[in-house]
Amino acid sequence: MAKNKKTHIMVIPFPQSGHMLPTVDLVHHLLRRHAAVTVVLTPNNLHYLDPLLRIHSPENLRPLSFPFPSHPSIPSGVENMSQLPTHAIGDMIQAFSLLRHPLSSWLESSPDPPAAILSDMFSVPWTNKLAEEFEIKSIAFLPTTAHTLSVIWGQDDRGFFEELMQSTSTSWGLILNTFKELEEKYVEDLKKNFMGHHRVWPVGPILPPAAGSDEDRGGKSSVPVGELTAWLDAFPENSVVYVAFGSQVSMGKAQGEAIAAALEKSGVRFIWAVKKSGGDDTAEIVPRGFEERTAERGRVIRGWAPQKVILEHRAVGSYLTHLGWGSVLEGLIGGTVLLAWPMHADNHFNTKLLADELGAAVKVCDGMDSVPDSDELARVLADSVRVDLPERGKAVELRGMGLAAIDEGGSSYKALDDMVREVGTSAV
């Protein structure tokens, strides 16, 4: 590499909010390390880069857009998993893989080819082949835990994950959105038994740029952020429960009724973010009259919620969540007690790690189709805002460890430094 030449990395986020956001945040931290980054997005997902484009030079941050590939099972105009049911993930993976052909043509004619292709684990079966075709490094990005990957790899039947796992294990390197102090034994297991080399970098928790807007991380807030924070400002520290289940989980009517009944019986202050998909189907999820009866102590947000703002507010003390990893990290950095209702994918593994092993979460329900007992859930909600809750102390401890890891000189900070240096100097 020529002296002073920036290390050029191509980043290919997977089009699902829980994967897209940490990948784009990772791009920010690569740019801070003087890398040049080309980010591959389809037109309807380009807005994810808006916060970064406001603070980084166009010389270093280079959006590269291709039309979303046509697929018989994906409606025209749909380019993100948040617009599809969970079971369509296989179709989305297959459709997105068709970008290999236009990307190959682009790389063939590029005067400044990247030193590495960094892609989400869902894309490595084809991005590894693309990297091999052009004799450049392939780096897999896993926006969840080393624990999840380690457990699935140890199973005889990996099912849906078999090809993704095998491809990831043959990548030149692996980046994890976790930190060594949280799960060191699982990181070491991946180095030894999964990748078979040292190029496994835990660089999390990957946080967004401080200068970026919290209002446009993946969508426009459904409520004025200033109005929401002003409402929260009126309440004591750790006295509000936040209820949200990510961009992919759709609640049923019975589940919504149970949550509403529990919130009402518990007497807690709350913010409840209800997912909106297609038409406004939130009317059935939130029972009629609930908002009027709880107006003095609660807010219901329909559509995109400014989750990071909410979780980092001093008044928010607990978080009822599906325990998707992005939500876990946002909750931990906010210092909240995690109330776990695992639904699918990595949620169950995260619950085992956070609740069973680390004691930083309370399991309250389990499964996509389960309906909690509203009396029991009300008790848990009321309990969750207690100052002396043991899980609160553990959450505060993990928050401190995570922030120390990403601070200059911390384990994650140094790991990302090492990764960029190795990409720029090592052979394929």
What's 108's domain CATH number?
Answer: 3.40.50.2000
Are 117 and 240 found together in one domain? Answer: no
Q: Are residues 377 and 328 in the same domain?
A: yes
Q: Are residues 137 and 96 in the same domain?
A: yes
Indicate if 298 and 242 belong to the same structural domain: yes
Look at the chain and report how many structural domains it folds into: 2
Q: What is the pLDDT of residue 339?
A: 97
Q: What span, in angstroms and rounded, lies between the C-alpha atoms of 218 and 330? A: 15
Q: Is residue 36 part of a domain?
A: yes
**Is 395 contained in some domain?**
no
Same domain, 68 and 152: yes
373 and 254 housed in the same domain: yes
Same domain, 243 and 155: no
Please check whether residue 397 lies inside any domain of the structure: no
* Pair 185, 320 in one domain: no
Residues 370 and 226 both lie in one domain: yes
Angle ∠(304,362,254) on CA atoms, nearest 5: 55
pLDDT at 189 (0 to 100): 96
Q: Are 270 and 299 in contact (CB under 8 A)?
A: yes
3-state helix, strand, coil in the chain (%, to 5): 45, 15, 40
- 30: in domain: yes
pLDDT at 277: 47
pLDDT in tens, 165-192: 999 999 999 999 999 999 999 999 999 9
Do 93 and 162 contact (CB within 8 A), yes or no? Answer: no
Q: Are residues 335 and 353 in the same domain?
A: yes
* Confidence at residue 413, expressed as pLDDT on a 0 to 100 scale: 98
One-character DSSP codes across 298-367 = EEEEES---HHHHHHSTTEEEEEE---HHHHHHHHHTTPEEEE---STTHHHHHIIIIIIS--EEE---S
Q: Do 206 and 229 share a structural domain? A: no
pLDDT of the residue at 218 = 58
The answer to whether residue 419 is domain-embedded is yes
Q: Are residues 130 and 88 in the same domain?
A: yes
Structure token pair of residue 91? 């179709």
Assess contact for 199 and 422: CB atoms under 8 A.
yes
162 lies in which domain range? 8-211+404-425
In a domain, 32, yes or no: yes
With a cut of 50, which residues of the chain have pLDDT below it? Answer: 1-3, 212-213, 277-280
pLDDT value at residue 250: 74
Q: How far apart are CA 178 and CA 189, in angstroms?
A: 14
Residue 393 lies in a domain: no
CB atoms within 10 A of CB 368: 16
Q: Residue 159 to residues 19, 70, 163, 166, 368: CA-CA distances in angstroms? A: 21, 26, 9, 12, 19
Q: What is the pTM of this model?
A: 0.91
Asked if residue 216 is part of any domain, the answer here is no
Any idea which residues carry the catalytic annotation?
19, 120
